[in-house]
Amino acid sequence: MRNIGLIIGREYRERVYKKSFIITTILMPLLMVLLGAAPTLIMEFVDGETKKIAVIDESGLVAPKLSSDEEIVFEISSKDLPDALVEASQTEECFGVLHIGKEIVENPNDARLYTTSSSSLMIEEYIADQIEKVIENERLKAYNIENIDEILEKVEASVHLATFRTDKEEESAATSAIASSIVGMLLGFLLYFILAIYGGMVMQSVIDEKSSRILEVMVSTVRPFEMLMGKILGIAAVAATQVLVWGVLIILFSAVIMPALMPANILDSVQQVQAGADVALLATQQDVSPEMLTAMASLLDTGHLAMIIGTVLLYLVGGFLLYASLYAAIGASVDQAQDAQQLTMVVTVPIIVAFVVTMMVMKDPNSPLVFWCSMIPFTSPIVMVARIPSGIPAWEIATSLILLYASFVVCVWGAAKIYKIGIFMHGAKPTLKDLWRWLKY
Amino acid sequence: MSNIITAEHITKRFSAHTALDDVSIEIPRGSVYGLLGPNGAGKTTLIRTINRITLPDSGRILFNDKPISQKDIFKIGYLPEERGLYRKMKVGEQALFLARLKGLSRHEALLRLKEWFVHFGIESWWDKKVEDLSKGMAQKVQFIVTVLHKPELLIFDEPFSGFDPINANLLKEEILRLKNEGATVIFSTHNMSSVEEICDHITLINKSKNILSGKVDDIRREHGGNIFSVQYKGDNKALMERLHGVCEVIENEESTTGFSSLKIHIARNEDIRSVVSLVNDSVNMRQFIETIPSMNDIFIRAVKE
């Protein structure tokens, strides 16, 4: 045991004290935030440039009702089309010319957009939507209904579905499918990356020990099993440290920074939602979407977050131990990383399958395929973690965790056998058949 | 004198070949024991079997007359042929780590390491990374780590390979010093001169078998029978004709300016006086003496047989 402790310590220190570890641990969350904010930021930059569109409206009905916004500004033009086009090509900020035919109400297709640079789907839809609305209104008006404008305003509605889980008593609070599936996806991603990256790290480090010939010195002192366990646990501790740091950062963010940044009235409603108030009602009062409100509520629920992070850690450690023992066995049986490619297929295929299934969790977190994949040890760490935010019965989590840890024990036993023989094999590249023979040796 | 290691009928097979075939050796406590043999003879496998890295298919290893167990490993220091250290670690940190794996406390390990680093004059390496050391430097560090926990038994696999003559000498001195302090040293080598200088016992392994074992002095005496060197001036051809069928000529160096020399083996039943007179009749003989063969000669002859 003392030896395993010493080895864990060495493996841990070698990695955690590295500059690159400290940098990625701190930069990764920042990068994630930036990545999340990127679309908004990009929009901000695009916004700085307003597009002017000259409107030649022969019908005279549409142009006055086109509403400009920060991005697109409509200017009514009285010129002929050819003149307007010439002018547009000479003025830099003019994006194009919108020509609307005389009979636009009868013939909705009689609208053309001439642009000086390439247009985008968004702009085209934006303009078409506006024209559509004008035409629809005009057509309705043709029926001569009284107070038509008022009626139209009242008729307009937009629907947000607030979802409630009724199968569980303790969680009567609203769950937001979109928020939980996004969080689930992110967690699935996280596990995928950590299993693949840290698993590869275990393999590389075994190969390094083999090629630097330190192994023989080590093995003359400690048992191969102690070396294997020490290495796996040491690197697992590194991964856990990284995730813990991220977890603490996230909880800090949700408990301290988010509330400080949020407008007081929204924060107030979020707290009411957490206390079990009616989401739909509050949403209407505060004029925000209920989806948004429930997402906020779960993001700001520190206890809930801590529970998720805790479960994720359990899966992370279990999944890592399982995969790391396989990676270590592969590393022990080859001389160079290049030789390992064929063998690593055995390990990467389940990881990728799990990753693909994770995409399906978004659609339905309780479909049979997803359920079974979250039970089978090789895919369960990734798939189950993606399901957790949608609320999973405790027995499912317990069963899949027990299966996961049990198969880890079996895998380590097998890996140790391969490891013991593999580390002294130099030269020939072993095949799966060789590994099977070593396993039975 | 009791034996620290007794290997009894060790056989080890790998899928393609037999590495050790019924090898038995006894290593007396306090000796410097040489394991000799051509490449691929099975020396390294025998060494790995002794320190429990590989288990034999049959036979057993006794350490101080009891079957060897994991706790005996702390009483062994092993320097493998293929030397390695963690490349990214600092020298001191790594030496400390390896020393603690051998069962030393952190405090004790630090004290002894400082002492050794001063002894070798390498204190300034403590904070260097291993990858910045030359091969010879790394070997010194490894030597220290091997002997640091004052093991009863030291095993060096090809210790002189890769050392320059100065460091090889230093290593020889250290090995003799350790012996004087009471340790038993086993080392494998093809370097025969080192065997003559420092070994008391040897075992010669060839093709997975122990073909020769014993005290160096005894072996030399036994195998040194009836080899003579002759120096003379005169007709080499005539001499060779006279000697033909009487004795075996091992070496024949003809010189036109100075003395020519011969090395001959005289069969035990042959009368030496008659050979001497034979030579004396044909050439102007200057010297006729018995020579004790070098380990090199014995090694080559034994392997050929």
Q: Which domain holds residue A99?
A: 48-155
Same domain, A242 and A287: yes
Could you tell me which residues come within 8 angstroms of residue B206 by beta carbon, excluding any fewer than 6 positions away? B37, B38, B41, B302, B303
Predicted pLDDT at A40: 63
Same domain, A97 and A70: yes
Contact A221 B102 (CB under 8 A): yes
Burial (Cβ within 10 Å: 0-12, 13-18, ≥19) of residue B105: exposed
Same domain, A179 and A128: no
Note whether residue A336 is domain-resident: yes
- Residue A380 contacts residue A407 (beta carbons within 8 Å): no
Same domain, A254 and A293: yes
Percent of chain A at pLDDT exceeding 70: 81
Last residue of a domain, one of A123, A155, A187: A155
Same domain, A182 and A103: no
Predicted pLDDT at B108: 93
Confidence tier at A312 by pLDDT (50, 70, 90)? confident
Could you tell me which residues come within 8 angstroms of residue A42 by beta carbon, excluding any fewer than 6 positions away? none
Which one, of A99, A95, A92, lies nearest residue A76 by Cα?
A99
Contacts B54 to A, Cβ<8 Å: 424
Tell whether A413 lies on the interface with B, counting CB pairs under 8 A. Answer: no
Tell whether B142 lies on the interface with A, counting CB pairs under 8 A. Answer: yes
Note whether residue A327 is domain-resident: yes
Confidence tier at A88 by pLDDT (50, 70, 90)? confident
- pLDDT tens for A103-149 read 888 888 888 888 777 777 777 888 888 888 888 888 888 887 777 77
Q: Given the structure tokens 């064929």, which residue do they identify? A: A342
Taking the mean position of all CA atoms in its chain, how far away is CA B71? 27
Note whether residue A89 is domain-resident: yes
Same domain, A254 and A385: yes
- pLDDT tens for A267-299 read 777 777 766 666 666 666 666 666 666 666 666
Which domains does chain B show, CATH number per domain?
A: 3-221 (3.40.50.300), 224-304 (3.30.70.80)
With a cut of 80, say whether residue A243 has pLDDT above it.
Answer: yes
The residues that bridge with B228 in the sheet, in sequence order, are B264, B290
The residues that bridge with B209 in the sheet, in sequence order, are B206
Kindly state the tokens that stand for A331.
């590393």
Tell whether A424 lies on the interface with B, counting CB pairs under 8 A. Answer: yes
Same domain, A237 and A207: yes
Confidence tier at B118 by pLDDT (50, 70, 90)? very high
Q: What is the CATH number of the domain that holds A80?
A: 3.40.190.10
Predicted pLDDT at A172: 40
Number of domains in chain A: 2
Give the least confident one: A164-173, A392-401, A431-440.
A164-173
Tell whether B89 lies on the interface with A, counting CB pairs under 8 A. Answer: yes
Contacts B51 to A, Cβ<8 Å: 220
- pLDDT tens for B173-206 read 988 899 999 999 998 887 777 777 788 898 988 8
With a cut of 50, say whether residue B208 has pLDDT above it.
Answer: yes
Q: State how far residue B159 is from chain A, nearest Cα, in angstroms.
A: 14
Give the least confident one: A48-57, A217-226, B3-12, B60-69.
A48-57
> Which carries the bigger pLDDT value, residue B273 or residue B223?
B273
Confidence tier at A171 by pLDDT (50, 70, 90)? very low
Same domain, A129 and A93: yes
Note whether residue A35 is domain-resident: no
- Residue B12 contacts residue B56 (beta carbons within 8 Å): yes
Can you tell me whether residue A29 is helix, strand or coil?
A: helix
Confidence tier at A233 by pLDDT (50, 70, 90)? very high
Contact B80 A220 (CB under 8 A): yes
Note whether residue A227 is domain-resident: yes
Q: State how far residue A2 is from chain B, nearest Cα, in angstroms.
A: 8
Same domain, A225 and A78: no
Note whether residue A359 is domain-resident: yes
Contact A212 B86 (CB under 8 A): yes
Same domain, A220 and A78: no
Last residue of a domain, one of A122, A155, A188: A155
Minimum Cα–Cα distance from B79: chain A residue? A217
Note whether residue A17 is domain-resident: no
CA dist B68 and B272 (Å) reads 51
With a cut of 60, say whether residue A426 has pLDDT above it.
Answer: yes
Same domain, A239 and A384: yes
Tell whether B191 lies on the interface with A, counting CB pairs under 8 A. Answer: no
Predicted pLDDT at A290: 66
- pLDDT tens for B127-182 read 998 888 888 888 888 899 999 989 999 999 888 877 788 888 888 898 889 999 99
Minimum Cα–Cα distance from B49: chain A residue? A220
With a cut of 50, say whether residue B261 has pLDDT above it.
Answer: yes
Best mutation site among B13, B50, B53 for testing chain A: the one with the most A CBs within 10 Å?
Answer: B53
Q: Given the structure tokens 């065997």, which residue do they identify? A: B195
Annotate B119-168 with three-state secondary structure: HHCCHHHCCCEHHHCCHHHHHHHHHHHHHCCCCCEEEEECCCCCCCHHHH
Contacts A223 to B, Cβ<8 Å: 70
Confidence tier at A401 by pLDDT (50, 70, 90)? very high
Last residue of a domain, one of A89, A123, A155: A155
Contact B53 A14 (CB under 8 A): no
Which residues in chain A (223-262) have CB-CB distances under 8 A to chain B? 223
Give the least confident one: A31-40, A85-94, B162-171.
A31-40
Same domain, A283 and A220: yes
Q: List the single residue in B80, B100, B101 with the smallest CB-CB distance to A216.
A: B80
Tell whether B269 lies on the interface with A, counting CB pairs under 8 A. Answer: no
Tell whether A220 lies on the interface with B, counting CB pairs under 8 A. Answer: yes
Q: List the single residue in B70, B89, B102 with the smallest CB-CB distance to A14.
A: B89
Note whether residue A162 is domain-resident: no
Predicted pLDDT at A173: 44
